[in-house]
Amino acid sequence: MAKIGNIDLGDFPLLLAPMEDVSDPPFRALCKEQGADVVYTEFISSEGLIRDAVKSTMKLDIYEYERPVGIQIFGANLTSMLKTVEIVEASNPDFIDINFGCPVKKVVSKGAGAGILKNIDLMVKLTREMVNHTKLPITVKTRLGWDKDSIKIVEVAERLQDVGCQAIAIHGRTRAQMYKGKADWKPIAQVKNNPRMHIPVFGNGDVDSPEKALEMRDKYGLDGAMIGRATIGYPWFFREVKHYFKTGKHLQPPTIEERVVMAKRHLEMAIAWKGEKLGVFETRRHYSNYFKGIPGIKPYRMTMVTSDSSTDVFKVLDEVQEKFKNFEAKHLQ
């Protein structure tokens, strides 16, 4: 039974990974409906929060139906991170997650995200000070190491636990790999199998099928799977994994009707939350997965991802609903 602090997450929880411009409230709501056990906000810059930058403060919006929900923050300056903890506490998340894994250059160049993997002592110090600064549980998301020659994740995870970190999610790649190559879960299993570890160890990276989630649970013995890219435009992934765990069989993929209804709801919720312009723009990245595998969908999808008007997008979605209503769901994989 995995727990973050006093929060019971059940056996082998499925976690929606924090993803920039993806894991916003509308998408989190859809994933929660489809079986996500834990959700995280998009990662939030500590410096942005302190400056009261609109984009950063907006990301603090969380809702009761999302719980348990973690607010994820990143930064490398201790004073800023402690101030950020105070700001984040006001939103009353279930826990605060520190991003020590983002590989993007503009984050890393400031020594934040995966950049801190070059300075493990600072990583441990920041975690310790944040734990001591709040009553909320502090968790960490990180990578195996900076590059293949500096993988010390077993020792790093133990040190983070020893200063009060209450759960760790580990992406099975180094910063040098970015998102290329194959995620290596063996070092994550080594963290879990360290007899001194007693906090939950969640695996992340390449969980793109129910079989992979099962492997993470049964072969590698991890406490939960954090799932990112496989869910973009496909919130059904969570329910499919759970169905597979229960029955050993694949759930029939969603019909075109279900896909269109979900895409429309997603767009409506996005517009309600962040306005027409951003709502339309930031939902675009989901359409290729919402309608993956449908022959002849390309011209419709092109309109969806290039139009600035929600009226046009809804019109195209209506057309797709009508044109493909007799298309068999079994053809979609």
Catalytically annotated residues: 102
C-alpha to C-alpha distance for 290 and 235, rounded to whole angstroms: 9
Ranges assigned E (strand) in the chain: 2-4, 7-10, 14-16, 38-40, 44-45, 69-74, 95-100, 138-143, 168-171, 201-204, 224-227
Q: What is the DSSP letter of 12?
A: S
Three-class SS state of 203: strand
Q: Which amino acid is at 116?
A: I
Q: What is the DSSP letter of 44?
A: E
How much is the CA Rg of the chain, to the nearest whole Å? 20
Residue 40 has a CB neighbour count (10 Å cut-off) of: 27
**Category of 254 on φ-ψ map: left (φ > 0), alpha (ψ -120 to 50) or beta:** beta
